[in-house]
Every structure is written in structure tokens, then in C-alpha cells.
Structure 1
Amino acid sequence: MSQSYMSRRRVLKAAGGVSAAAVLGGSGLLASATAARAAGDGFGLRVVERDEKDPRMKYYRFATEAIGWNPAVNVLLPDGYADGRRYPVLYLLHGGGLGQDFRSFDYESVNIRALTAGRPVIVVMPDGGPAGWYCDPVHSNSGPRNWETFHIEQLLPWIDGNFRTYAEFDGRAVAGFSMGGFGALKYAAKHPGHFASVSSHSGPASLRRDAGLVTHWANVSSAAAELAGGSVYGVPRWNEARVSADNPVEHVPAYRGKRVFLAAGTSPDPVDWADWVTETQVLAGQREFHDRLDAAGIPHERHEEPGGHVFRTKLFGRDLDGILDRLRKP
């Protein structure tokens, strides 16, 4: 299968009028849900829209105080879900951009249905905002945009409460592309008991390198596309404690005992300046993260391939094999 060009032009065009020069772009509740029972409200989420007709792909939209609009999620069930068994869960986080949302991995260019056909895993693909950065921001002028709260405190237990999952560390993985790759690394470290496997496909792993270029981009892009002039980490001065709390390279010990998968491109398009800056920064940050993991003796899998800021479906297929090897089996 050819790699998907979910490219910088399409995925990280969140900034509208922003200059391209800024670009970077434990065990718990046991689910009792069955295939025949409709998902219900709970954990701070009220279902306001749903489509459960497809035998595999279920769609839900929620009202929640954590987000100032009604975010949605696609839940992709395995082919054998009707057999009554429990399954591990992969949380798959989309990249940044005005066109990116909970449907991003269901587009023809990725086709998550085909990639997971025959594989025993539930895939949860939530909204994360066009430039939410999988964070509760320091300041918002557009109402609540608390994406970390929505995902970790509300959606995760809601999934366990409505689907037959393994509601435990060894039953969950988190992965993502670009902004979502950062979100996956961040969530796995900040919430260490939740995810046994973490994968970052062209996602930044270092917020402070090169004078904090990724942090600056998070602030600029979120101000333009998400927070109406607010910021994820604070301007003109950052909330340094928040930056450190979210920065993967500052929390290397938290990845011990987890499966870690990293992928980045080595030859972004030199003509596409935005693509070049984005993946060059991603590659440098992932190499820094790799060095720190090595120094700590933490095993991990790392891939560098030609190309720029794109989602590589072949590598994702390999990653998915590793995820399923690590997680609890149905």
C-alpha cells in the first residue's frame, strides 16, 4: 500500500492567515456494553447525535462542558465484535489543520477500515480541534477548549463504559500523526497508567529545542485557528510548568515498560518551505528523544524514511502489528 500524502499542505494549514514562516507544524471500569445496546450518556458526555447503522464504524457527537462546541468521535469496531469478546483499544489522534477532525483517518488516502480489517482491535478516533494540541490551553477567547480533559477524563471512561474493552493499561494504545503524534507522546507520559503502547508518526517530541520553535508554533496556530487569540502555553511569557509537563523529552522515565514507536521523514520537499521546516523540526526532536531513551536504556522502535511531513500507511501497518503484539489479546 502506498504512503498517504496527508501532507503539510492539507494537514497543517490551520493558521489561516498566519505566515508559513511560523510552521511546524490501571484497571478500572469493566464495560458491560453489547453490540445490540446503544451507547449512552455519562462521564460528562451527553450524546447529541449518533449513527450506529454501520456494522463496524460508529459515530457519536457529544455535548460537554470541556469543549465550547460539540466534538465527535468515530469508533471502529473489529470484524468479530458481535462475538461477545472484549478487545484492546487504539486511540488514534489526528493532525492539525482546518480540514482535520475525527474523520481524518477514514479518508480514502488512509482508509483505516481497510488497514484494520481482520485485526482484533477497537480504534477510537476523536476530534482534537484544528489546533488544540491535545491540551487544556492557558487562555481561550472562544470558550472552553479543554481537549486533554475531554479525551482523558471523559472520552476514555465513556468508551470503556459503552464498549467491550479491556479497561486497563495493557488494553490500551495511543498513536497519532503530526500534532496527534505529539498528543500521543504527551498523553502516554502524563497519564502513565493508561497506555501500554505509544506511537508518533511525524509528531514533535521536543518542545524546547531551537528556542522552543514547536511551542511557539503551538501558540501561533492555536491563536489563529482554535482560541481566537488565546494560546496553549501563554504569551508573551510561557507557562513554563505547563510546557515542562507536556514535553516528552523531559519525561523519559515515564516511557519505561511501554512499547514506543517513532517515525519521521528525512527529505522534506525543499521547495515547499513549510514542509521542510515542519519535518526538519520533527526529525530533530525525535532524534533527541531517541538519544534520551537510549541513554535511559528504554527500548523503542524508530524509523526514518525519505520524504517529508506525510502519514506513511506502510509504517502504520507495521506499527499496528506491534501494537497488537503488545496489548492484551481478545
Structure 2
Amino acid sequence: MESHLLRTAALVAGFAAVSAFAAPVAAAETGLPHFADGFGLTVTEQPTRVDGHPRTFTFAVRSDQVPAPSVLPGQVPGRHVVMVTLPAGYDGSTRYPVLYALHGNADLPNTQRNLDIAESATRSAPLITVQPNGGRSWYSNWVNPGALGTQNWENFHLGQLIPLIDATLRTIPARTGRAIAGHSMGGFGAVHYAEHRPDLFGYVGSFSGGLDLQNSEQRAAVAETALDPASGTPTTSVDAIFGPPVWPFDGIWNAQSPAQHVSSLRGMGVALYTGNGGDLTVDPLQAVVENRARETNLVTAANLTAEGIPFTFADYGDGSAWAPGCTGKHNQQPCLQADLDHFVGLLMQALQHP
């Protein structure tokens, strides 16, 4: 019974299901950038163009901050794949802004769906998109990683990957040329990172993110993430990421909750996107997932309003007026495509770009 409840609670926070890998061609091609080791990263695979997609490539690194992440089927232990989509006409001389796009739990950066959404949203935008591996990380430095060893995901992404991208690609290496966004767990990660490092980002977006760690359903979802082999193996413990989830030992949960710490987003562009689940009798699990994720966004929106911080809130209900095929459920590609399309439009109005 307890296992069933935890699994249901995990769905309440909502995560992306694993799609098919975006398959790269067999060998690296000319005309792609060369990544050198540095910033604590060892490059294990140079850029390889994704077959049939000249704007997108993958590369892989090892990180001393997350040397042994848990893995999903198809992932190589210890290796972090990163997928990059370049703007059309990228010539190695013009500088472009960068969007860091964070995937949800039980998803991978280099799925066909993530590729399709990024390429479609940026087809006409002068924007580099970087999608890193996030594992079951909750985009945080874990406090009790146990047998998995060091799991400092925030250090990896913010202290290592961003400098590597800026050192290798023609980016605008300033907050005026950098944004972050994510779906579900990745929406949590985007706001979490932006709050911790407002010096890095000019805009943040959350797509159906679970943003309130003071919410008991959200805590159960994080616990399920740690315990469920469907989120990666080996599994870990409920206190691995943020410590014990119960009072009076839950201080880290409270301290790391994005919904309650929005003040550092002042001066940054902020956008939240969520549906309400639509018809709860149709695909009820994904409907409930989105409905409960929306509650954490409402708390965040209320706190942003109380702080006097301007933000965009696309609270699109059953999705009927948001995008064709979007019915307000969690993890629906038409909804996510519309979210990113809209967010990229905001970025082109706010970020420095050619």
C-alpha cells in the first residue's frame, strides 16, 4: 500500500516519460565545434551531428561533481550526454544567447521529443539551446548521496557546463544573454538554479514545474523519485537529496523550495506555464499530475505578486485555447511545444541577441 501511494504521489508532481533516443550518426563530422577538457569536465565524446538534423549535435562528458549518476536504459554509466541545437546560420563568429533547457524525471536530454520541440521552437530564433543530462537529480547538490557518491548536480551544471559552453561556442557570456527553463522536475530545477544564481540568468521559465517543497505531495514525489528504479538505477534513499522529509528535520527541504524564495528573481524575467488537467476522466493520472503541479505554481505566483516581481503566468486550463492537441494534461507534447514557443518569443524580446 505504501509503495502504491508513493508511486501515485510521484505522478502528482509529474515527470516526463522516456522517449526514443535521438540517434546520432556514427562518427563526428567536420564543421562541428571541438570541446576541450576543463572546468572539472573530461570530454568523452566529441560533437556528433544528430542524423537528419544539421542544427543539432550531442557530446558527452564526465564530471568530478557527479562522477557516478544513476542511469536509465541506454545510458552509459558515468557519462553525461548533452544535446545542443544551434541557430540557423551559426557560423562560429556571431555571438548568440543560450537557453539551458532541463528535462523532467525519467527523461533524457537527447530524446526525439526533446529534439523536435527545441528545433521547432528555435527554427527562426537566433538562440543556442543546451539540454544537459539531469538524471533523477532534482537539479540540486545532494546532502546524503550514500553509495552513489558525490551528486553535486548544481555544481556540475552551473559551475562546469556553463563555463564549458561559453568557452567553446560563440555565446553571449552574460546574464543578458542567458536563460534557463525546464519541464516538471526541470521546471523546479530552472527556478531553483535561477534563485541561487541570479547573476547567471536574465530569464527563467517553468513548464508544469513542481515548485513547492513545502507541499506534502511534492515531497512524496521526490521520495518516489529516489526509490523508483524507473527513475534510474541504482536507486537511493528518501533522504538522499534534501535530507529527511519530515519535521523537525526538514530544514533543507524548506530552504531549497523555489516557491518560497522568489525574492532573488527580482530584475529577472519570469514565466510560469501550467494547465489544470482538463477532463479528469480522460488520462486521469496525467490529469491529476498537472492539476497538482498547478497548485505549486499558484503558490509561487502568489509569492511573486507579494514581492512585487513582474511575471508571466500562462495558466491555460484545459489547453483548448493554448494549442491544438493540448488538453491541459501533464507531459503532453503539444502543450510543451506551445510553452516553449511562447517562452522563446519572450526571450527574443528580452535577451541580447544578433
TM-score (norm 2): 0.78
Displacement of 1:18 after TM fit? 5.8
Displacement of 1:51 after TM fit? 3.1
**Which residue of structure 1 lines up, in the alignment, with residue 206 of structure 2?**
200
User: Match for 1:151: what amino acid?
Assistant: H
SS of equivalent to 1:158: helix
Distance 1:319 1:273 in 2: 27
Give the alignment's Cα RMSD to 1 decimal: 2.4
Displacement of 1:234 after TM fit? 1.9
User: Match for 2:140: what amino acid?
Assistant: C
Distance 1:244 1:317 in 2: 32
**Which residue of structure 2 lines up, in the alignment, with residue 61 of structure 1?**
60
**Which residue of structure 1 lines up, in the alignment, with residue 89 of structure 2?**
80
**Is 1:39 equivalent to 2:45 in the alignment?**
no
SS of equivalent to 1:135: coil
User: Match for 1:324: what amino acid?
Assistant: M
Displacement of 1:270 after TM fit? 2.4
**Which residue of structure 1 lines up, in the alignment, with residue 71 of structure 2?**
none
**Is 1:135 equivalent to 2:144 in the alignment?**
no
8 Å Cα contact 2:9/2:220 also seen in 1:
no
> Identity of counterpart residues, as a percentage?
32
**Which residue of structure 1 lines up, in the alignment, with residue 100 of structure 2?**
91
SS of equivalent to 1:75: strand
- 2:120 pairs, out of 111, 114, 129, with 114
Displacement of 1:117 after TM fit? 1.2
User: Match for 1:317: what amino acid?
Assistant: D
8 Å Cα contact 1:268/1:309 also seen in 2:
no
**Which residue of structure 2 lines up, in the alignment, with residue 290 of structure 1?**
301
Query: Deviations for 1:267-298, whole angstroms, at most 9, x for unmatched residues?
Result: 34524443243212211111111111112211
Query: Deviations for 1:163-192, whole angstroms, at most 9, x for unmatched residues?
Result: 111111111000111111111111110111
User: Match for 1:39: what amino acid?
Assistant: F
**Which residue of structure 1 lines up, in the alignment, with residue 20 of structure 2?**
none
Q: Which has the higher contact order (CA 8 A, sep 6+)?
A: 1
Query: Deviations for 1:60-108, whole angstroms, at most 9, x for unmatched residues?
Result: 11111222111110111111210611110000011111xx11114x428
Query: Deviations for 1:239-287, whole angstroms, at most 9, x for unmatched residues?
Result: 5342233211221211111111111111345244432432122111111
- 1:261 pairs, out of 265, 271, 275, with 271
SS of equivalent to 1:123: strand
| Structure 1: segments with no counterpart, 5+ residues | 1-14, 26-34
Distance 1:146 1:251 in 2: 21
Distance 1:200 1:150 in 2: 20
8 Å Cα contact 2:272/2:297 also seen in 1:
yes
8 Å Cα contact 1:172/1:194 also seen in 2:
yes
Displacement of 1:320 after TM fit? 0.6
Displacement of 1:205 after TM fit? 1.9
**Which residue of structure 2 lines up, in the alignment, with residue 19 of structure 1?**
7
User: Match for 2:97: what amino acid?
Assistant: P
**Which residue of structure 1 lines up, in the alignment, with residue 163 of structure 2?**
157
In structure 2, relative to structure 1, the CA distance for the partners of 1:235 and 1:283 (3 Å cut) is: same
In structure 2, relative to structure 1, the CA distance for the partners of 1:16 and 1:74 (3 Å cut) is: farther
In structure 2, relative to structure 1, the CA distance for the partners of 1:41 and 1:264 (3 Å cut) is: same
8 Å Cα contact 2:56/2:84 also seen in 1:
yes
| Superposition misfits of 4+ residues, deviation over 6 angstroms | none
8 Å Cα contact 2:204/2:269 also seen in 1:
yes
**Is 1:103 equivalent to 2:91 in the alignment?**
no
- 1:166 pairs, out of 169, 172, 181, with 172
In structure 2, relative to structure 1, the CA distance for the partners of 1:65 and 1:85 (3 Å cut) is: same
In structure 2, relative to structure 1, the CA distance for the partners of 1:236 and 1:247 (3 Å cut) is: closer
Query: Deviations for 1:304-328, whole angstroms, at most 9, x for unmatched residues?
Result: 2211213521232111110121111
- 2:217 pairs, out of 200, 210, 213, with 213
Displacement of 1:200 after TM fit? 0.4
- 1:245 pairs, out of 255, 259, 263, with 255
User: Match for 1:309: what amino acid?
Assistant: H
**Which residue of structure 2 lines up, in the alignment, with residue 309 of structure 1?**
330
- Residues matched between the structures, number: 301
